[in-house]
Amino acid sequence: MNKINILSPNKENLYTYLYLGILLFSFSVLDVSLNSFFSLNITGFLPSSISFILPLILGFIGLYLIRIEYSGIKKLDLLNKNINTNNFNAFLSLIIIFVVIKASPPLLSWFIIDANIAGDSKDVCTGSGACWTYIKIWFNRFMYGMYPNAEQWRINLSFIALAFLGSVGYFATEKFKKYLTLYYVVIYPIIAFLFIFFFISGGPIFFDFSYGIIAAVISIIIGLYIPSKFKMYYFIIVPITVYILLKYVLFYEVLIELGKLEALEWVETGAWGGLSLTFIVSFFCLIFCFPVGLFLSLGRRSDFPIIKYISIGMIEFWRGVPLITVLFMSSVMFPMFLPEDMFIDKLVRVIIAISLFEAAYVAEVIRGGLQALPRGQYDAAKSLGMGYWKMHIFVILPQALKLVIPGIANTFLALVKDTPLIFVVGLLEIVGMLNLAKTNPKWLGFAMEGYVFASILFFIICYTMSKYSYNLEQKYKTER
**Would you call 428 helix, strand, or coil by DSSP?**
strand
264: phi then psi, degrees, rounded to nearest 5:
-65, 150
| Highest mean pLDDT pick, 344-348, 409-413, 471-475 | 409-413
The pLDDT score that the predictor gives to residue 257 is 44
Q: Taking the CA atoms of 137, 143, 148 and 153 in sequence, report the sign of the dihedral they define.
A: negative
At 442, is the pLDDT very low, low, confident or very high (cuts 50, 70, 90)? confident
> What is residue 2's DSSP assignment?
P
At 261, is the pLDDT very low, low, confident or very high (cuts 50, 70, 90)? very low
pLDDT tens for each residue of 355-402: 999 999 999 999 999 998 888 888 888 888 888 888 888 888 888 888
pLDDT tens for each residue of 13-59: 778 888 888 899 999 999 999 988 888 888 878 888 888 888 888 99
Residue 303 or residue 236, greater confidence:
303
Diameter over CA atoms, the chain: 99
Distance CA 367, CA 378 (A): 15
The pLDDT score that the predictor gives to residue 459 is 94
The pLDDT score that the predictor gives to residue 225 is 65
The pLDDT score that the predictor gives to residue 256 is 47
The pLDDT score that the predictor gives to residue 228 is 64
Distance CA 413, CA 459 (A): 10
The pLDDT score that the predictor gives to residue 250 is 63
At 232, is the pLDDT very low, low, confident or very high (cuts 50, 70, 90)? low
Contact 370, 362 (CB under 8 A): no
**End-to-end CA separation in angstroms for the chain:** 42
> What is residue 480's DSSP assignment?
-
The pLDDT score that the predictor gives to residue 260 is 42
Contact 433, 277 (CB under 8 A): no
At 230, is the pLDDT very low, low, confident or very high (cuts 50, 70, 90)? low
Residues 6 or more apart whose Cβ sits within 8 Å of residue 307:
299
Q: Which helix (H) or strand (E) holds 254?
A: helix 253-257
Task: Please state the separation of Cα 418 from the chain's center in Å.
Answer: 11
Residue 423 or residue 185, greater confidence:
423
Residues 6 or more apart whose Cβ sits within 8 Å of residue 213:
191, 194, 195
pLDDT tens for each residue of 137-160: 999 999 999 999 888 888 898 888
CA atoms within 13 A on the CB side of 272: 26
